[in-house]
Amino acid sequence: EHERTFVMVKPDGVQRGLIGDIVSRFEDRGLKMVGGKFMQIDQELAEEHYGEHEDKPFFDGLVDFITSGPVFAMVWEGQDATRQVRTMMGETDPAESAPGTIRGDYGLDLGRNVIHGSDHEDEGANEREIELFFDEDELVDWDQID
C-alpha cells in the first residue's frame, strides 16, 4: 500500500548529529519526505503523543525525555512506508536491534532509542500522529509538482 508514515528523530538523535544520516537512509531507500519540522515538543503534545503509555511506569521519564530538547519530526511517503521505516529502525530496544538498522547502529538504551516511527500494527497510528504534529498545508503533494 502506498502510504504516509510519521517518523521523529528524538532528542538524543538530534544532539548526536544523526538527523542527516537518518534522512539519507530513508532517501536512499526510495521513500519521499513530504514534511519536516525541527521543533521542541511541549508537555501537552508529549502526553497526547504517548497517551497509550499513560499507565506505564516509564511514562513520566518518557515525557521528560521527549521534551528535553529539540526533535526532528517528519512524514515519509512510499510503498509500505510504515513497515519499511520500522524495519530500518530496528526493534524498540536498541540492544535487540540488528547492526545495519538505525537503532542497531547507534544505541543500546531502551529509553534513548534515537528515533520514533508509527506502529504498523496500530491501525490509524500514522494518520493520528501526522495530524498531531502537522497541518495538512505543511505537507507536500509530490504529484502536484512538475
Say how far apart CA 20 and CA 71 lie, in whole Å. 13
Query: Any binding-site annotation on 26?
Result: no
Contacts of 90 (CB under 8 A, 6+ apart): 96, 97, 98, 101, 102, 103, 104
Q: Which is nearer to ligand CMP, 125 or 140 (CB)?
A: 125
From 4, 103, 116, 120, residue interacting with ligand CMP (rule: CB under 6 A): 116
Check binding of 95 to ligand CMP (CB under 6 A).
Answer: no
Q: By CB under 6 A, which span of 17-25, 79-87, 108-116, 128-136 interacts with ligand CMP?
A: 108-116
From 92, 105, 139, 140, residue interacting with ligand CMP (rule: CB under 6 A): 92
Cα angle 72, 59, 108 (rounded to 5 degrees) comes to 60
Check binding of 110 to ligand CMP (CB under 6 A).
Answer: yes
DSSP structural state of residue 98: P
Active site residues: 116
Q: By CB under 6 A, which span of 23-31, 68-76, 105-113, 128-136 interacts with ligand CMP?
A: 105-113
Check binding of 113 to ligand CMP (CB under 6 A).
Answer: yes
Measuring CA to CA, which residue among 102, 100, 103 is closest to residue 111? Answer: 103
